[in-house]
Amino acid sequence: MTGTPDDAREAARKRVEERRGFLPHLIVYVLINATLVFVWANMGPHGFFWPAIVMFAWGVGVVMHAWSAFLSKPITEADVDRELARADKRDAS
């Protein structure tokens, strides 16, 4: 990020797109997994709960999408400067 208004606008647009894309992702996750549980239950819920495999694997993706959309902060010039200072300090020692 070079700090120009166009770069800031593009970064903001990307964050908005990620946030807006999360709800459809979550809805599809819930609907598909509810369908899998329904199929499992109607086949006789005796035995291994195989929908849990899909729920867990896809759930990791949903959690990562939520993290990216709502919790992660964009990289700033100050972040880059701090990393450069750390690298310089390591190289000096």
Q: What distance in Å separates the CA atoms of residue 61 and residue 37, rounded to the nearest whole number? A: 19
Give the domain range for residue 41. Answer: 5-92
User: Total structural domains in the chain?
Assistant: 1
> What is the model's pLDDT at position 79?
84
Whether the full predicted model's pTM is greater than 0.85, yes or no, is no
Number of C-beta neighbours around residue 28 at 10 A: 12
Mean per-residue pLDDT for 78-90? 87
